[in-house]
Amino acid sequence: MEHLTAETLARLVDDAPSAEERAHLDGCATCSEELRAYEEQTRALGSLPELLPPQGDWNVLEARLRSEGLLRDPGLFARFGLTRTPAWMRMAASVLLFGVGMMSGAAWASGAPEAGGPLGAASVTDLDGAASAVRMAEQRYVDAMSRYRELLARNGEGAETVDPISRYAALEHLVLVSQAAVRQAPGDQFLNGFLASALAERDAAARLVSSGRDSWF
């Protein structure tokens, strides 16, 4: 009896057998077993896991993205269009941001965040845990900003001008509460970064107010 060829069996993983092929498979244990092996091989290929890129891959990519001008780290408020949004919305964003920062800082300081809490199930017991916690805090920060960005879009915001003095006042407030948070958790990188951004934004706003070059009045 002549067996089905390897390519035929491989094809039959996807295709229904012809009547002749069906008849052969019904009467040939060897070919039936071989077909099952092909099916198993195909299933296994479809279950191959994802692969982690090599360590340091992001650093190389980041350098390339920067060299091509595809990556930027603008000021905290400019990044999310806050210079062009109403004061009340900026204040809302400040509260949102600060809330995220405070929750992260509190969880960080406690060292034992609850599952589902600001830092998820990560525990800060070593350097890797600390790095992971920072990454999670950043992730939540990005998520919060993403939602805020969409809120702006849904409200048709984005081109409205603002009063620079109100903006300065809002930033000053944000700096003060950020400084208070950093005093409580001086080692918290997230809060320190947040404070640094707020300070930079506030100083820029102050320069704008003092220069008198703006056209908002």
Partner 1 sequence: MQRQTATTDAGLLALAAEGDARAIRTLYDRFSPRVFAVVRRIAGDDELAQDYAQEAWIRAIRALPTFRGDARFSTWLHRIAVNSALQALRRAETRRKREAPLPDDVPTSAPGGDVFLQRKLSRALDRLPEGMRRVLILHDVEGYTHEEIGDVLGITSGTSKSQLSKARAKMRQLLGALDQGDTEAWQVKDQGVESWSI
| DSSP secondary structure code for residue 126 in this structure | S
Nearer to partner 1, 13 or 208 (CB): 13
Residue 116 touches partner 1, criterion: CB under 8 A: no
| DSSP secondary structure code for residue 105 in this structure | H
Q: What are the structure tokens assigned to 98, written together?
A: 């600060």
| DSSP secondary structure code for residue 118 in this structure | T
Q: Could you give the angle at the alpha carbon of 75 between the alpha carbons of 70 and 61, nearest 5°?
A: 30
Among 65, 131, 180, 196, binds partner 1 (CB under 8 A): 65
Q: What are the structure tokens assigned to 211, written together?
A: 């220069």
Q: What are the structure tokens assigned to 50, written together?
A: 């994802």
Among 53, 116, 156, 212, binds partner 1 (CB under 8 A): 53
Residue 112 touches partner 1, criterion: CB under 8 A: no
Among 2, 20, 33, 73, binds partner 1 (CB under 8 A): 73
Q: Can you give the binding site for partner 1, defined by CB under 8 A?
A: 6-11, 13, 37-38, 41-42, 44-54, 57-58, 60-62, 64-65, 68-74, 79, 135, 138-139, 141-143, 145-150, 153
